[in-house]
Structure 1
Amino acid sequence: MKAGLILTALAAALAVPALADGDAAKGEKVFNKCKACHAVGEGAANKVGPQLNGIVGAPAGQVDGFKYSDALTEAAAGGLVWDEENLAAFLAKPKDFMKGTKMTFAGLRKEDEIENVISYLQGF
């Protein structure tokens, strides 16, 4: 019985995405690339892009007062959730992930930067 519980716990631990291992402090520095268009934290407001408080794990297109692109609105209606996997893909190449997005940022090239910024965003 104990062996079964240990194996179950081990399997669950291994199933946690690697993105959860990002460094939030380093992610804060990476987020400087995002600040021109996005805000996080207390009092964060929409800019060219929506504020990103609570984005990790949230359904897409849910920030009040922000006018999303038709592409994102359609993806949201289709059930897109900003889990770590989808955020990572979007942050790597937004225009490849979502044709028609209004986001003009080319993307983050380094996987560790993506992991770190997602870790940083998880704190809001």
Structure 2
Amino acid sequence: MYSKMILGIAAVFVAGSAQAGDAEAGKKLFEQRCRACHMIQADDGTPIQKGGRTGPNLYKVVGRVAGSEDGYRYKASIVEAGQKGLIWDEASLEAYVQDPSGFLQEYLGDSGARSGMTFKLKKGMEDVYAYLASVAN
């Protein structure tokens, strides 16, 4: 019973924390820092945020299994993380974007794990997360 109560409190915290970010500020940061490599394109092909194709499409990334976007060639480590259960939520996306390879090394317990993402966003990821969550609804 105690563990169910803790899980309930954690769920409320996670749901509330997604609203802590500023989606409008996240959109601006995405335009400045993320769209060089990433686009956001709806399932029907409608562009939400034009951008690069070096990284995967970030439409509906929130809640997606890591390394699973159709048509994108991921590095082996991110695919392995997805196979081991990594689902992109606020905490995992924020940690990953701050240090992609470091995050994968810790998650997989493999000091040789590497991400294809070399950019690190040290500040503002809570806003980018709010923006990404807002465009998929």
Q: State the partner residue of 1:50.
A: 56
On the 8 A contact 1:57/1:84 being kept in 2, the answer is no
Residue of structure 2 aligned with 1:86, choices 82, 92, 96: 92
Q: Which of 1 and 2 has higher RCO (CA within 8 Å, sep 6+)?
A: 1
Question: Distance in 1 between the 2:16 and 2:102 partners?
Answer: 22
RMSD (CA atoms): 2.2
- Higher radius of gyration, 1 or 2: 1
CA-CA distance at 1:95 after TM superposition: 2.0
Question: Distance in 1 between the 2:59 and 2:39 partners?
Answer: 8
Identity among equivalent pairs (%): 38
The answer for unaligned runs of 5 or more in structure 2 is 1-8, 105-112
1:122 maps onto 2:136 in alignment: no
User: What are the superposed Cα offsets for residues 44-92 of structure 1, whole Å, 9 maximum, x if unpaired?
Assistant: 5871111010001111122111000011111111111001110010111
The answer for unaligned runs of 5 or more in structure 1 is 1-10
1:109 maps onto 2:122 in alignment: yes
Other structure's SS at 1:28 match: helix
1:61 maps onto 2:60 in alignment: no
Question: Distance in 2 between the 1:73 and 1:14 partners?
Answer: 28
**Count of residues in Structure 1 that have an aligned counterpart in Structure 2:** 112
Distance 1:90 1:17, change over 3 A: farther
CA-CA distance at 1:19 after TM superposition: 3.5
TM-score for the superposition, normalised by structure 1: 0.79
TM-score for the superposition, normalised by structure 2: 0.72
